[in-house]
Chains A and B, each alone.
Chain A
Amino acid sequence: MEFSPENPRPAEPEIETSHVEEFVEQLRCVTDSLPSRINIDAQSVEQGLAKLVLTLIEFIRRLLEKQAVRRMEGGDLSPEQIEELGLALMRLEAKLQELKAQFGLADEDLNLDLGPIGRLI
Chain B
Amino acid sequence: MKLYAYCFTEDGDAPSESLTGIGGSQVRVLKAEGFSVLVSNFSADTVPVNRHNVLAHSAVIQRVLAHTTPLPLRFGALAGEEQLRNYVSAKHEALQEKFDSIRGCIEMNVKLISQGAEVVAEPHLPEPADKPGTAFLVQKKREILGSETRIAEAKRLTVWLEQHVGDLIKEASIEQGRTEKLILAASHLLERGVLEQYRARLKAAREERPELHFLVSGPWAPYSFANIELEFKSQFGVS
A binding-site residues for B, Cβ under 8 Å: 1, 6-19, 22-23, 25-27, 29, 34, 65-66, 68-69, 72-73, 79, 82-90, 115-117
Contacts and interface: CB of A to CB of B under 8 A. Distances in A.
User: Does more than half of chain B's interface fall in helix, strand or loop, or is it mixed?
Assistant: mixed
A16 B217 contact: yes
Contact of A86 (B111, B134, B236, B238): B134
B214 interface: yes
B95 to A, nearest CB: 18
B215 A72 contact: no
A26 B113 contact: yes
B220 A66 contact: no
Interface of B: 13, 49, 62, 65-68, 104, 106, 111, 113, 131-137, 140-141, 144, 178-179, 181-182, 192-193, 195, 213-220, 227, 229, 232-233, 236, 238
Given A19-B215, A22-B213, A72 B141 contact: yes
A11 B217 CA distance: 11
Given A16-B214, A116-B236, 12 more contacts: A8-B192, A17-B216, A19-B215, A27-B182, A34-B49, A69-B137, A82-B134, A86-B131, A88-B133, A89-B140, A116-B227, A117-B238
A5 to B, nearest CB: 8
In the A-B complex, list the 10 residue pairs whose CB atoms are closest, starting with the nearest. A86-B133, A87-B133, A17-B215, A10-B219, A26-B182, A86-B137, A6-B193, A83-B133, A86-B136, A19-B213
Given A10-B66, A17-B213, A83 B144 contact: no
Given A1-B13, A12-B62, A69-B140, A19 B238 contact: no
A90 B134 contact: no
B181 A26 contact: yes
Given A14-B218, A22-B181, A85 B113 contact: no
B216 A16 contact: yes
A27 B236 CA distance: 30
Interface centre among B67, B113, B140 (most CB of A within 10 A): B140
Contact of A115 (B133, B140, B195, B232): B232
A7 B192 contact: yes
Contacts of A65: 140, 144
Contacts of B182: 23, 26-27
B133 A90 contact: yes
B218 A83 contact: no
A86 B219 CA distance: 50
Contacts of B219: 10-11, 13
